[in-house]
Structure 1
């Protein structure tokens, strides 16, 4: 009996000692972190590749700035290492890449995935593994409406985008005494397009507009002639368009060729119309007077004062041939949000990072390159201070027209639009 007790005591002491050693080892390992892997799931190939690569560029610039400035100081100067995974804009690929980043790369946090159709299921995987996820770009409302604890979205959700478009219509109508009575909807048929269209339909009913066209289409079209005939037949006073870059290029070219007159214009919600590659691919005349809902005030960079933002704009331009845009700024902002959380957590532990993200309250610095005044998440993980702007293409430049407070001096919206023959 004595031998049994003795053996038991030795086992307990051994286990306690081993546990203490493991704890010390964990603390030591924590203190000796040299590099922090941050996972990114983005569409680096496929239909949204230009957007994914712009986000990637902004993120890489931010990580370089942070590392050159001394890394994560609360972790002894640990450097950020961004690990990119290509979703190809495909939900199944995005889910598989999320699993890989968590299981094989052992990342403590993931950023992604731009496409709502990818982000929605991929964040379910992250939630299951209890890995914090910072959303970039994806706006589907339900992403932050599922009671998840590990998902945080700094940018707009779909209802915000839709509300901004209708608010801009209301503002222009109030300023001029003229405006549309009915609105057409033309949108890509995945999660993003359907979510935006559903929100527009809710809002127009409240604001007194009629819906004259409700037309979705499958992505990656080669011809939109049939849909343009439907638009012509419906005669919308204004047309809201939801399209990624390739489809938006095709639609814009074919719309210009058709010389179809939409008196209160095409109102595009981000996507392709935020992409500089879109403007390279279409004639300036084809986009003249087009309205764009954007998560970044493209005409405000000239007034930027933050040295990190000025530096990032120059590096972005050197790398891609054009200045900072919505997607580059979101990539940059995401990384600075991650830096803020790491500094406060002083840890790469996922639970501590989740708690730090939940307590985020940023009101200055390069994380606000997107144009927000504040980043603070509600109990669902949504930044309720997120907002965008509405711009109009005027004389070859995108100029902010909504909200009024964001208009630069001398900017005057064209409303209603002149007929194609008069342009």
Structure 2
């Protein structure tokens, strides 16, 4: 039986106080419940950071519009305070200190995008005794810190999966294509071009061994600065190495657009698998026909082929005037889950809120959130948070792996 996931309005409605009914007195009004959010609102990952802000705001605005959040018989309005990290750890730390001291926020969410910033924030937040949650960061180093020092980081919870989930998707997709006779890896050679961040490097850390254990050779492992856009030196080396598979990993959509267009211009024959950047709505218009045939992950938001996702996108536009995208879906689910757990805990006291997160079973538009409590990370899989591989075919992304989630068959680029 397929689990039914509630739509945007229904999930928000479950958080609302609503008007008094059946003779029960309305709860009294209390001070705002203040949540500080740190994320990239400028710099190369600003598009994603701004989308996350829009999603967080949409949830909070709907909750406030419909009465606020009731905790222990008192109604709280949700107040969000945003600070820019610019994807830089030192900027994020400064923002956290401001939110935790001057603003005295009740809960801290950060970073909304960058793993490197999140890792830095984790060193600051525990001394303030506040609950903390991240947004999209997937670096497994975050989970390792939690597991390695549960007393210090026991009140930190991730909002997304770990980087090893990407690794499994990348390797298993290639392996499945080979087994099905749809791709021939004659040299069994793989290359990586990734941004020089914890996000990029941690993904390679787990992906490369899977290929090498299966007899593949890594021909190159290139790291480039965040926002890098001149890939001709890397592509020249790539031509000489002649890998069968190229894996690229960027949070900057401009880097991804530049790489895809330059690969097409150079007419390089390689199976290209991309991580993250094609999720952005501006990628396809920017890359144009050069993107056709590209494989990418994670396609967990697919309004073109999934009616539930289409409903979310339409409703999100009704609420905000902005076309709903994958970042919006993630941000919406994360903020809804956070507020739902605050409501269940009945407090923002960190240990009580952590207990609520440990018992999370929260269905949302893209996933069912249930936690691995050893590492404070959402579980991954078809029944939880899926990490599917997509292929761009004639300007449209279709899921091609796993087969249980596929909406199209793989098509060779040439």
1:124 — aligned with what?
A: 123
Return the alpha-carbon distance in structure 1 between the equivalents of residues 155 and 44 of structure 2: 28
* Matched ranges for 1:306-385 at <5 A: 311-312=315-316, 314-315=318-319, 318-319=321-322, 322=323, 324-362=324-362, 364=363, 368-369=364-365, 371-385=366-380
Higher helix share goes to which structure? 1
Return the alpha-carbon distance in structure 1 between the equivalents of residues 314 and 283 of structure 2: 24
Q: Determine whether 1:277 maps to 2:282.
A: yes
2:296 — aligned with what?
A: 292
The alpha carbon displacement at 1:373 in A equals 2.9
1:183 — aligned with what?
A: 190
1:96 — aligned with what?
A: 94
Return the alpha-carbon distance in structure 2 between the equivalents of residues 155 and 68 of structure 1: 28
Return the alpha-carbon distance in structure 1 between the equivalents of residues 310 and 227 of structure 2: 39
Look at both structures and tell me which one has the larger radius of gyration over its CA atoms: 1
- Cα shift readout 1:350-394 (whole Å, capped 9, x = no counterpart): 3332332233232x3xxx22x223322412211123331111001
CA separation of 1:288 and 1:142: change in aligned 2, threshold 3 A: same
Q: Structure 2: any 5+ residue segments left out of the alignment?
A: 1-26
2:263 — aligned with what?
A: 255
TM-score, length of structure 1 as denominator length: 0.82
* Matched ranges for 1:207-246 at <5 A: 207-243=214-250, 244-246=252-254
2:304/2:310 contact within 8 Å kept: no
Return the alpha-carbon distance in structure 1 between the equivalents of residues 203 and 311 of structure 2: 36
The alpha carbon displacement at 1:299 in A equals 4.1
Return the alpha-carbon distance in structure 2 between the equivalents of residues 343 and 308 of structure 1: 23
1:35 — aligned with what?
A: 32
Structure 2 residue corresponding to 1:266, chosen from 261, 266, 272: 272
What RMSD over aligned residues (CA atoms) do the two structures have, in Å? 2.2
2:303/2:310 contact within 8 Å kept: no
2:248/2:274 contact within 8 Å kept: yes
Return the alpha-carbon distance in structure 2 between the equivalents of residues 249 and 392 of structure 1: 16
CA separation of 1:335 and 1:274: change in aligned 2, threshold 3 A: same
Aligned length in residues: 373
Return the alpha-carbon distance in structure 2 between the equivalents of residues 301 and 131 of structure 1: 41
2:144 — aligned with what?
A: 145
CA separation of 1:73 and 1:179: change in aligned 2, threshold 3 A: farther
TM-score, length of structure 2 as denominator length: 0.84
Return the alpha-carbon distance in structure 1 between the equivalents of residues 49 and 273 of structure 2: 23
- Cα shift readout 1:101-140 (whole Å, capped 9, x = no counterpart): 1111111212221111111111221223232222111111
